[in-house]
Amino acid sequence: MKTTGRVNGIISNIVIVKADGPVGQNEICYVWTGDTKMMAEVIKVIGDAAYVQVFDSTRGLKIGDRVEFEGHMLEVTLAPGLLSRNYDGLQNDLEKMDGLFIARGSITDPVDYDVEWEFSPLAKVGDKVTAASWLGEVKEQWVMHKIMVPFTMTDCYTVKSVAEVGKYKITDTMAVLTDAEGRDHEVTMVQKWPVKQAVRCYTEKPRPSRIMETGVRPIDTFNPMAEGGTGFIPGPFGAGKTVLQHAISKQADADVIIMVACGERANEVVEIFKEFPELIDPHTGHTLMERTIIICNTSNMPVAAREASVYTGMTIGEYYRSMGLKVLVMADSTSRWAQALREMSNRLEELPGQDAFPMDLSAIISNFYSRAGLVKLVGGQTGSVTFLGTVSPAGGNLKEPVTESTKKAARCFYALSQGRADSKRYPAIDPLESYSKYLEYPEIREYLDEHIEKDWVDLVYAGKTIVQRGKEANDQINILGDDGVPVEYHERFWKSELIDFVILQQDAFDDIDANCPMERQQMMYKMVLGICNQEFAFADFEACSQFFKGLINLFRQMNYSEWKSEKFEGYRKQIEQYVSEQSK
């Protein structure tokens, strides 16, 4: 028997319900206004009063309107058919909705229940299985989608029967499992899981031990992201957060990409919808959309659903991770998520923290980021969820609460600089403010030494030191003037500019320069570093400036040339000759 209730108070999208039975925290309910039912979530319970946040406009709702509690938390449907879909934060399929604006109370199925999938069994009769064990697989786009023991079935089971090779709907019984007490359990291709509860169906969660290539030089070379790691990109409006995220999503070494637009402007989301189906994935040769899921809550969609959208994206990511896949989850922007938390907290009249954000904001963000990671699955395979979020601090203030709280949780910090954006130095990642704590991990150091270059981390820090010394020299030149400092200061400054223009800047809209493989990055970086380590004897600062400007121009032409092409090798020889002439 379901618990019901009546509306007893309304504060914007927070509704106070007088319940006639037991109600649980985070339980889902439906609030009726006329013939329209709106989904809501319980966020606070005091006695028989349940405070629920409604995921729609509450306009027209009246005291005494009916409420029905569902007895379960906010869940996502996990089954074949998720890839290539566009969802809202509650996993409604946006393509099945009518009209320019989403009608209040609109609910659509997240997957198609009538499609038949070609199933191949992996488990055999008599096998011992538990939650997340693989029973079989179907081909979803080009990904082998594993059919698993539901995450809720945590006991040990014996496989009684498995479906044979053939075509089945997701609601068909694919296996029968027998528990320790002899009871049979039928398993289909579809399962549900609460979004705010982490999927912990794995045997071990080791530290990340390899980097995830993104094709973006200032990230891969200077501050690499680990596979199964966490990072975030804070920066003021217009600094290029969205373009950088889109570039990473196109090029990253991942099997599945989940884009969570939790508060982006609608035009940015439309750009994803329009661009991704046309792009060819460099890793597979298929269209990029085939391995992408978009969860979209733009700034004009319900605020409460923004909070749900990041959890929905992470839960789907954990589902694909359990199949042994590399998943990249990206959220733009988590500031909107934090603002939704602030609005809810204010309406609940909770004690405010800094800038009126919830007191436990830091704990909420840390708890969410901890769901990413590399895991060892029950079958011995490994899977990973790498999470990268963006933060939009008001006025570009990186000391505000959301940025500071995220800094404690994430291991990579890619700070976008307004100054670099204004001078068109894209991506505007500040090389001195940004960092990757994964460079300190012995496992990552060992991986870099083995797969890229011996003592690669030392080379990275050498480059950062040159950039730092160049900035200090530039400050001296600006204060004392060109003639007021020795030529060595100009040389130091221009060496840092060489690293900046050749390594730290990249054209995201050029077919070749947009995606720079690690092999090419290594060769270019070592070449630039070799020049920076040379001593030159310039007659004056003008000669120094002219030399490095010519050198930078040659390197940039090289960046726009296809890797190892005749044109590329031609520019390399020109650079070597140009430098050797000056060295004399």
Single-letter residue type at 174? M
Query: Three-class SS of residue 387?
Result: strand
DSSP 212: -
List binding-site positions. 235-242
| CA gap 268, 107 in Å, rounded | 24
| CA gap 471, 55 in Å, rounded | 49
| CA gap 167, 115 in Å, rounded | 9
| Residue 541 near residue 482 (C-beta atoms within 8 A) | yes
Residue 110: pLDDT band (50, 70, 90) is: very high
Give pTM, 2 decimals: 0.94
Residue 62: is its pLDDT beyond 90?
Answer: yes
Domains of the chain and any CATH numbers: 4-75 (2.40.10.170), 117-189 (2.40.50.100), 203-435 (3.40.50.300), 456-583 (1.10.1140.10)
H helix and E strand count, the chain: 14, 25
Residue 298: is its pLDDT beyond 80?
Answer: no
| CA gap 426, 428 in Å, rounded | 4
Single-letter residue type at 77? T
**Region 307-325 average pLDDT:** 95
Note the pLDDT tens digit of each residue in 443-498.
999 999 999 999 999 999 999 999 999 999 999 999 999 999 999 999 999 999 99
Residue 267: pLDDT band (50, 70, 90) is: low
* Predicted pLDDT of residue 299: 63
**Region 138-151 average pLDDT:** 94
List binding-site positions for ATP. 235-242
SS (H, E, C) 102-151: CCCCCCCCCCCCCCCEEEEECCCCCCEECCCCEEEEEEECCEEEEEECCC
- The count of other CB atoms within 10 Å of the CB of residue 349 is 9
Residue 209: is its pLDDT beyond 60?
Answer: yes
Q: Which tokens go with 472?
A: 């200090």
Residue 584: is its pLDDT beyond 60?
Answer: no
Residue 348: pLDDT band (50, 70, 90) is: confident
Q: Which residue has the tokens 């012995």?
A: 442
Note the pLDDT tens digit of each residue in 505-526.
999 989 899 999 999 999 999 9
| CA gap 359, 385 in Å, rounded | 28
**Region 269-274 average pLDDT:** 74
